[in-house]
Chains A and B, each alone.
Chain A
Amino acid sequence: MALEEYKGVYVFAQQVDGKISNISFELLGKATDLAKDLNTEVTAMLLGKDVKGLADQLAEYGADKVIVVDDPELEVYRTEPYAHAVCSIIKEFKPDIVLYGATAIGRDLAPRCSARVHTGLTADCTVLEIGDFPLTVAEGQEQKHGQLLMTRPAFGGNTIATIACPDHRPQMATVRPGVMQKIDKKAGAKAEVIEFNPGFTKNNCYVEVEKVVKMVNDTVDISAAKVLVSGGRGVGSKENFALLQDLADALGGVVSCSRAAVDSGWCDKDQQVGQTGKTVRPHLYFAIGISGAIQHVAGMEESDIIIAINKDASAPIFDVADYGIVGDLNKIVPLLTDKIKKAQEEKNQTA
């Protein structure tokens, strides 16, 4: 493998139902940084049926080029035709770096591609940068420059590892949603659009999607909220989550939860914060009746201000909270909501 033949930072621009997923813009933001360091271009891979019209949006968020694979086989996500398209692009265009979202699609597609093209894949990255590998060298040892250094938490967030892929190309990573920043939208920006179709031949690996069942989703995206009021097992019941909703409403925030609240049937899966839920970094995070298992903490510890309310003084959540209140949430939360409303009213009167 002649590594120097591989050039450019590529992003798998996930779209579902003809709408580009937010993670695609986040990846383009990070890819823009990496491409600057490597003095190269950002290319988005856009796969689907009748999706060419979406290319301009990718340009506005940082794509210099957009490779479009438009085919009826790509209408609904299926592993095999998507992997065939991405691997064909890799073979044809030889990217140095390929980034995918660590979504239910990306975490299926990327490993399948890594096995097929025989290259490494680092999962669920939270930091990506260009640097040297090895970081420090012993005498006589070769150090490679301009490598993608991929940092990820493991072990439920208790360890953190930085990983490189020095001898295989492309260097590939899935990236945790909600972590990378989009660039400011460059309205009217255009990308060079390249239409590419590798041809699709059905084989044993093609599956049939018989039905698509969408979950009714009227909840707000918790990863975009500035204030999150999060509840766990200690909230005690579905009805009690109304107390949290009132608090969230008073602060213009959104209700989220721990895994225990989802398992108990009090909240929806898409409200879940943590290792198997979403990563959030709001300005203010209330952890109410949440014990603070490491899997939960991994998803929220980057929040600017963390306030915990728990009746158990030894709960591990107090180890990460900026402000911890030991007490009964049933009494404190309604009072808190009232007092916040009052404080806001006073402020409005004096303003």
Chain B
Amino acid sequence: MKIVVCVKQVPDTAGEVKFKPDGSLDRAAMETIMNHDDKAGLEAALRLKEQYGAEITVVTMGLPKAEDVLREAMAMGADKAILVTDRVLGGADTWATSTTLAGAIRNLEYDLIITGRQAIDGDTAQVGPQLSEHLGIPVISYAQKIEVEGDSVVVERQYEDRYHVVRAKMPCLITALAELNEPRYMTPGGIFDAYKKEITVWGRADLKDVDDSNIGLAGSPTKIAKASDKVRKGAGTKVDNLGAAEAADYIVNTLKEKFVI
């Protein structure tokens, strides 16, 4: 079985969020990590590999430094890694990103493509389903359990108040939830090997069946009209050093003032 796993390098929003003096986000100063949902997708692929045997290729699109997440993926056990990077691909929205990834993946053989549900920087959850459409294969989003039976996958697909057990013929694309599993750590040997392995770097010319008008900023149907860092409501009153009873009285009085009680 051949599995392609799409991963994204993202700023670590759960770590320390850093701001510039003007109050805007200082992205460059923040740690980058492999996106959580993607890492769960990779872990799911590694477990399928252990169970059924598989070759895992990780693909990312990003800046050259996105190589870091590919090394991490190989240290966890991925077999091959492809970095799709080119100046003309920059500024892509989800439509152009999925078009680009489709152009890269058309060069590969695959039975299964696994992406994370969404990335923590954009939170759109759009690239997986869009990629599946560009490739003309079924999508199963929000996977909380993945099994392989012969030439099919059987997936528990999560909804708000239920899940569906869904069967699809491969090739198929699955988007993984972070709660799917607990990703393994890199092993020291794995890290050592990962730096010996070669990463394939593809640019615009390597994309298959992709029109120039459909990539990068110019090929993105959505355009940013305005972007700003959120101005948060300032902190209110904070009381410290009150005993529990005084604290409770303080809240009760506040609720009375606000006519809640």
Contacts and interface: CB of A to CB of B under 8 A. Distances in A.
A326 B240 contact: yes
B148 interface: no
Interface centre among A83, A103, A104, A322 (most CB of B within 10 A): A104
B13 A208 contact: no
Interface stretch (B42-50, B189-197, B230-238): B230-238
Contacts, number: 263
A111 B126 CA distance: 5
Interface in B168-200: 168-169, 172
Interface of A: 76-80, 83, 103-105, 107-108, 110-112, 114-116, 118-124, 133-135, 149, 153-168, 204-215, 217, 227, 251, 270, 275, 283-284, 293-295, 301, 305-307, 309, 313, 318-328, 331-332, 335-336, 338-340, 343-344, 347
Given A123-B94, A318-B235, A324-B235, 5 more contacts: A104-B142, A123-B123, A159-B229, A163-B223, A214-B162
Given A210-B167, A295-B14, A327 B162 contact: no
Given A155-B121, A210-B167, A321-B238, A103 B224 contact: no
A335 B245 contact: yes
Bin the interface of chain B by size: 35 or more
A326 B238 contact: yes
A207 B156 CA distance: 13
Contacts of A118: 95, 221
A339 B164 CA distance: 46
A111 B129 contact: yes
B233 A320 contact: yes
**Main DSSP-derived SS at the A contact region:** mixed
A313 B240 contact: yes
B108 interface: no
Interface string B235-252: 111111110110111111
6 contacts: A111-B129, A154-B122, A212-B162, A215-B163, A284-B258, A305-B260
Contacts of B32: none
Given A108-B139, A209-B164, A159 B25 contact: yes
Contacts of B132: 112
Contacts of B255: 284, 340, 343
A208 B220 contact: no
A161 B123 contact: no
A295 to B, nearest CB: 7
B28 interface: no
B141 A108 contact: yes
Nearest to A219: B161
Most B CB contacts (10 A, CB to CB) among A77, A115, A321 go to A115
Contact of B261 (A149, A164, A251, A325): A251
A293 B225 contact: no
A333 to B, nearest CB: 8
Contacts of A275: 123
A283 B232 CA distance: 18
Interface of B: 11, 13-14, 17, 25, 93-95, 98, 120-134, 136-142, 154, 158-169, 172, 220-230, 232-242, 244-245, 247-252, 254-256, 258, 260-261
Contacts of B139: 79, 108, 112
Contacts of B245: 335
Contacts of A217: 161
Contacts of B234: 319
Contacts of B172: 207
B171 to A, nearest CB: 9
Contacts of A305: 258, 260
Contacts of A108: 129, 139, 141-142
B125 A107 contact: yes
Contacts of B232: 301, 319-320
A45 B241 CA distance: 57
Given A108-B129, A120-B220, A295-B14, A324 B236 contact: yes
Contact of A123 (B126, B141, B163, B228): B126
Given A160-B227, A160-B228, A168-B221, A104 B252 contact: no
B248 to A, nearest CB: 4
Contact of B260 (A116, A154, A167, A283): A283
Contacts of A295: 13-14, 120
